[in-house]
């Protein structure tokens, strides 16, 4: 694959991102242009794309949250304010992964790894405590008649099953913390379930403030 680079999302990327998202998730409603503009307005530093000479290959989007506000239960819609990122809280010390996807033609070639690395770097450079995300479990529907989502996820963690998303996240250094119900109800592959995962920033300094970084939107 041609060399891949990662950078902050720009407004001009929006049509290509929507097209890619529709292609990747035929059953889940895609973001609107309005929502993507709102996301860039709310937290431009957290919106990242991967590209090569041929165009966009994928994206990773994040917000910061006060995790105590959300830890007991939440859906994707609730924590992201239906995708507008109004709940982005600059005082939060948790980077929350809202979305990550890679063009199917470019999957399995390290693009997802670069996007996750960029997310970890953002967490480090902002002096945030951790990255938390709720990952889809797209392999679960094949086993849903025989076992709970929790048991399925445990079998992925134990290495007995491979899930296209959770196996990747574990390989990226995330720890599995349990399953969430009705996280994205439209996600039929995951039967609405998601796995709660966390990566702790080893460089985090609780005695120092969050480094808010300069807000640049292009």
Ligand X SMILES: CC(C)(COP(=O)(O)OP(=O)(O)OC[C@H]1O[C@@H](n2cnc3c(N)ncnc32)[C@H](O)[C@@H]1OP(=O)(O)O)[C@@H](O)C(=O)NCCC(=O)NCCS
Residues that bind ligand X (CB under 6 A): 24, 100-102, 107-113, 135-136, 138, 164-165, 167-168, 171
Q: Least distance to ligand X from the beta carbon of 209, Å?
A: 30
CA 79: distance to chain centroid?
12
Q: Least distance to ligand X from the beta carbon of 52, Å?
A: 12
Q: Are strands 55-65 and 130-136 parallel, antiparallel or unpaired?
A: unpaired
Q: Least distance to ligand X from the beta carbon of 32, Å?
A: 19
The separation between the first and the last C-alpha atoms of the chain, rounded to the nearest angstrom, is 27
* Residue of minimal Cβ distance to ligand X: 112
Query: 118: which residues sit within 8 A by CB, 6+ positions away?
Result: 6, 48, 60
Q: Check: CB of residue 37 under 8 Å from CB of residue 6.
A: no
Q: Least distance to ligand X from the beta carbon of 207, Å?
A: 33
Q: Which is nearer to ligand X, 109 or 215 (CB)?
A: 109
3-state secondary structure of 128: coil
Q: Least distance to ligand X from the beta carbon of 78, Å?
A: 16
Q: Least distance to ligand X from the beta carbon of 101, Å?
A: 4
- Segments of the chain assigned E as strands: 5-8, 47-52, 55-65, 94-102, 130-136, 175-180, 194-200
What stretch of H or E contains 118? Answer: helix 111-125
3-state secondary structure of 68: helix
Q: Which is nearer to ligand X, 110 or 185 (CB)?
A: 110
Q: What is the DSSP letter of 147?
A: S
Render 157-171 in DSSP notation, one character per residue: HHTSS--TTHHHHHH
């Amino acid at each position: 694959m041609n060399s891949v680079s990662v950078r902050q999302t720009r407004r001009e990327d929006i049509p290509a991102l929507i097209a890619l998202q529709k292609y990747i998730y035929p059953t889940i409603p895609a973001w609107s242009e309005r929502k993507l503009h709102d996301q860039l307005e709310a937290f431009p530093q957290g919106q990242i794309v991967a590209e090569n000479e041929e165009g966009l290959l994928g994206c990773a989007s994040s917000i910061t949250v006060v995790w105590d506000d959300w830890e007991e239960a939440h859906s994707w819609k609730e924590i992201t304010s239906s995708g507008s990122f109004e709940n982005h809280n600059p005082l939060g010390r948790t980077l929350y992964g809202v979305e990550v996807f890679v063009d199917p033609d470019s999957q399995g070639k390290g693009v997802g790894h670069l996007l996750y690395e960029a997310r970890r770097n953002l967490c480090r450079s902002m002096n945030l405590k951790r990255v938390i995300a709720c990952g889809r479990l797209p392999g679960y529907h094949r086993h849903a008649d025989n076992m709970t989502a929790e048991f399925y996820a445990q079998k992925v963690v134990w290495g007995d099953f491979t899930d296209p998303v959770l196996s990747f996240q574990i390989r990226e250094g995330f720890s599995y913390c349990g399953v969430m119900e009705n996280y994205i109800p439209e996600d039929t592959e995951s039967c609405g379930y998601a796995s709660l995962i966390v990566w702790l920033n080893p460089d985090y300094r609780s005695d120092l403030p969050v480094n808010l970084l300069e807000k640049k939107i292009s």
